[in-house]
Structure 1
Amino acid sequence: MQYKDYYKIMALSRDASQDEVKRSYRKLARKYHPDVSKEADAEAKFKELGEAYEVLKDPEKRAAYNQLGANWKSGQDFKPPPNWDEGFEFKGGGFTGGDAGDFSDFFEQLFGREGFQSAHTGRQHGEHLRGQDSHAKIHINLEDSYHGATHTVTLSSPEMNAQGQVQVKHRNLNVKIPKGIKPGQLIKLAGQGSPGIGSGQAGDLFLEIAFNAHPLYRVAETDVYLDLPVTPWEAALGAKVKVPTPEGSVDLKIPPNSRQGGKLRLAGRGLPTKTPGDFYVVLQIVLPAATTDQAKAAYQNMQQAFDFNPRQSIGG
C-alpha cells in the first residue's frame, strides 16, 4: 500500500487554514473535472483530489491524518504505525460513518471501509440540545482483562484556532478497566462527551478497547493462544512442562506422539468474560542443531532407528 500526501495533492502547506483547503479544492476541481478538463489523466486526478479533500476538509480526519507525521512521501510503501489512532477522540460515529465510495486502500486502512464522519449540530438562539457522543480507541494490556485495572488515559481532539487552522487539545481521564473486557467492547463514560447547547446535557464518551501486542499470547474472541516450544523427544515420548499463563504458571502434560501444531486446551482459562474463554497451547517442535560430533551421531542413530519418509504421501 502506498502513502498518499493529501497536502501535496491539494497543493497546500500542512498549516493551511480550512478556508485555504476549500479554496484550493474549488480551484483544482475546476481544473480536473472530467467534463471540462483537457488533461489526459483528469479523471484519476479528480478522484484523488476528492479523497484528499474528504480528509483535509474535516478537522477530525485531518488531525488524525496529521498524526502520521510529515516525513512520508507520496508513493512510499506505507503501513500505519502501531496504535496510531490511540486515544484520538471523534464526535458522532467515530470510524463508522460516511460513504468512502471508491477511495483508495490507503484511506480505507486509516479510516475504515466507509471512512468516518463528524456530525456537527448547528446552534440556534434559545435551543437547549444534548451534546454529541464522542468515541475513542484505547489500548490495554491483556493482563488488564484478567485482573481489572485503572488507567489514566490521554485523549486528543481537534479544534479550530482563531486563524482557522486545526490544532489538537488533550485531556486526561481516569478510566476503570473491568475484569473480563475483550477487544472491541465499549466503556461508556457518562457526561464526558461534547458539552450540551444551552442547558442541554453533555454527551457520553465511548471508549473502544483494543489489546496491545503481547510477546507471548494472542487473542481470538475470548480465547487466548500460546505457542509453546517443545523438543522432539518431549513431543514423541510425552512430558510434563511448566507453561506460563496470564494467571501464573501451570503444569501441562504433553501426550506421547504429539504433532507439530497440536493444540492442548485449558478450559476456562481464557479471558474471564461472563462465559470464560479457553487457553490453548499450540505445540511448536524445535529441532536442536547438529553442531557437534555427538549431536551428529545422535541424528545418525535416529536415521538408522526409524524407517520414516515424511515425503511418502507426495511421492517423494
Structure 2
Amino acid sequence: MEFKDYYQILGVPRDATAEDIKKSFRKLARKYHPDVSKEADAEARMKELNEANAVLSDPEKRAAYDQLGRGYQPGQEFRPPPDWDAGFEFSGRGFSPGEAADFSDFFAELFGGMRSRPGFGAAPRGRFEARGEDHHAKVLLDIEDAFTGATRQISLRAPRSDAQGRLTLVERTLNVKIPQGVHAGQVIRLAGQGAPGIGGATAGDLLLEVQFRPHPRLRAHGRDLHLRLPVAPWEAALGAVISVELPGGSVKLRIPEGAQSGRQLRVRGKGIPAAQGGAAGDLLLDIEVVVPPAKTPQAREFYERMARELAFDPRQEERV
C-alpha cells in the first residue's frame, strides 16, 4: 500500500490552519468537480481531494495522521504499525461503512473502523439539551494486568485548535481501574469522562478499548493464552512433568512420551481468568524440541553413540 500525502494533495503546508485547508479545498473543488471540470482526470482528482479534506479538516484524524505519517514520502510503501492509534482520544464523529468505502485502501486502513455515533436529543418544553458525545480511545495494557487487576495511569492525547486555527495536542492523564479478567477487545467505560453536555445535559462517557502490549512469551486470543514451550529431547522422548511460569503463578503439566515439535497441549482454565465467575480461558502450549549443541568432546561422543546405536532416520517417512 502506498502512502498518501494529504497535504500535498490539497496544496497546503503541514502547519496550515483550518481556514487555509478550507480555502484550498474549495479552490481545487471548483477546478476539478466533474460537473464543471474539463480536466481528463477530474473525477479521480476530486475523489482524492474529498479524501484529503475528510482527514485534514477533522482535528482528530489530522492529529493521528500527522503522527503516523511523519517521515513518509508520497508513494512510499506503507503499512501502519499495530495499535498505531493507541492513546489518541477520538470523539464519536466518524464515517458510515458506505462513506469509508468511497475512499482509498489507505484511508480505510487508517480510519475505516471509525463509525458515527449519534448523541443528540431535545428536552421537553422546547429547551434544547444534548448529552455529551462519548469519546473513544485504544489503550495498551500488560497481560499481567488481566490476572491481578490493577490501577493504571493512562495518558490520552486529544487534538484541539488554537485561536489561530492551528492544531495542538492536549494530553490528560486518568487513573483507571483495570478489572481482573480483562481481555483484548473489551471496553472499559468511564462515566462522565467524555465530552461535556449542552444545556445542563449529562457528559458523555469515555470508552477505552483494551489491547495487550506484545509479550516476550505469551500471546492472547480472547481469554486463551498461547505459549511456545521448549523441551529437551529426553523430555519429549521419555515424557516428563515440568513447571511453566505464568503471570498467575506456576502450572505443572505432563509432557506425553514421544511428543514431537508442533504438537499442542491444552491446559483448561489456565488462561486469562474470567470476571464475575465466568469461565477462564485455556493455556495452549506449542511444543518445540530443542537439541543441545555439541560443543564439548563429551557431547560429540554422546551424539556419535546415538547415531551408531539408534539407527534413526527422521526422513524415512518422506521416502515412502
Deviation at 1:211, TM superposition (A): 0.8
Alignment of 1:131-280 (within 5 A): 131-273=132-274, 274-280=278-284
The amino acid of 1:288's aligned partner reads: P
Q: Secondary structure at the match of 2:101?
A: coil
Match of 1:30 in 2: 30
The amino acid of 1:23's aligned partner reads: K
Match of 1:5 in 2: 5
Deviation at 1:133, TM superposition (A): 1.2
Distance in structure 2 (CA, Å) of the matches to 1:165 and 1:297: 73
Q: Is the 8 A contact 1:94 1:134 kept in 2?
A: no
The amino acid of 2:60's aligned partner reads: E
Change in CA separation of 1:162 and 1:119 when aligned onto 2, cut-off 3 Å: farther
- For residues 61-95 of structure 1, give each alpha carbon's deviation from its aligned partner in whole angstroms, at most 9, with x where no partner exists: 11111222532212223233454312211111668
TM-score, length of structure 1 as denominator length: 0.88
Larger deviation: 143-152 or 54-63? 54-63
- For residues 268-316 of structure 1, give each alpha carbon's deviation from its aligned partner in whole angstroms, at most 9, with x where no partner exists: 1111112111112211112334455554454444444234343634x47
Change in CA separation of 1:130 and 1:120 when aligned onto 2, cut-off 3 Å: closer
The amino acid of 2:292's aligned partner reads: P
Deviation at 1:263, TM superposition (A): 1.7
- For residues 152-179 of structure 1, give each alpha carbon's deviation from its aligned partner in whole angstroms, at most 9, with x where no partner exists: 1112212221112222212121110000
Change in CA separation of 1:32 and 1:173 when aligned onto 2, cut-off 3 Å: same
Q: Is the 8 A contact 2:196 2:202 kept in 1?
A: yes
Q: Is the 8 A contact 2:2 2:76 kept in 1?
A: yes
The amino acid of 1:140's aligned partner reads: L
The amino acid of 2:315's aligned partner reads: P
Change in CA separation of 1:270 and 1:96 when aligned onto 2, cut-off 3 Å: farther
Q: Secondary structure at the match of 2:99?
A: coil
Deviation at 1:41, TM superposition (A): 4.5
Deviation at 1:109, TM superposition (A): 2.3
Distance in structure 1 (CA, Å) of the matches to 2:301 and 2:6: 63
Change in CA separation of 1:63 and 1:169 when aligned onto 2, cut-off 3 Å: same
Q: Is the 8 A contact 2:242 2:252 kept in 1?
A: yes
Match of 1:288 in 2: 292
Distance in structure 2 (CA, Å) of the matches to 1:120 and 1:14: 32
Larger deviation: 13-22 or 70-79? 70-79
Q: Secondary structure at the match of 1:14?
A: coil
Change in CA separation of 1:120 and 1:247 when aligned onto 2, cut-off 3 Å: closer
The amino acid of 2:110's aligned partner reads: L
Q: Secondary structure at the match of 1:253?
A: strand
Distance in structure 2 (CA, Å) of the matches to 1:97 and 1:57: 19
Match of 1:78 in 2: 78
> After TM superposition, where is structure 1 displaced by more than 6 Å over at least 4 residues in a row?
94-98, 118-123
Larger deviation: 14-23 or 62-71? 62-71
Q: Is the 8 A contact 1:93 1:135 kept in 2?
A: no
Distance in structure 2 (CA, Å) of the matches to 1:96 and 1:208: 20
Q: Secondary structure at the match of 2:128?
A: coil
Larger deviation: 19-28 or 273-282? 19-28
Q: Secondary structure at the match of 1:249?
A: strand
Q: Secondary structure at the match of 1:67?
A: helix
| CA-based RMSD | 2.8
Deviation at 1:142, TM superposition (A): 0.5
Any stretches of 5+ residues in structure 2 without a counterpart?
Answer: none
Deviation at 1:56, TM superposition (A): 0.8
Change in CA separation of 1:78 and 1:242 when aligned onto 2, cut-off 3 Å: same
Match of 1:310 in 2: 315
Deviation at 1:37, TM superposition (A): 4.7
Any stretches of 5+ residues in structure 1 without a counterpart?
Answer: none
Deviation at 1:108, TM superposition (A): 2.3
Q: Is the 8 A contact 1:148 1:180 kept in 2?
A: yes
- For residues 216-244 of structure 1, give each alpha carbon's deviation from its aligned partner in whole angstroms, at most 9, with x where no partner exists: 10001110011011122221121222211
Change in CA separation of 1:57 and 1:299 when aligned onto 2, cut-off 3 Å: same
Change in CA separation of 1:268 and 1:118 when aligned onto 2, cut-off 3 Å: closer
Q: Is the 8 A contact 2:153 2:173 kept in 1?
A: yes
Distance in structure 2 (CA, Å) of the matches to 1:23 and 1:275: 57
Distance in structure 2 (CA, Å) of the matches to 1:94 and 1:177: 27
Distance in structure 1 (CA, Å) of the matches to 2:280 and 2:100: 38
The amino acid of 1:101's aligned partner reads: A
Larger deviation: 139-148 or 94-103? 94-103
Match of 2:87 in 1: 87
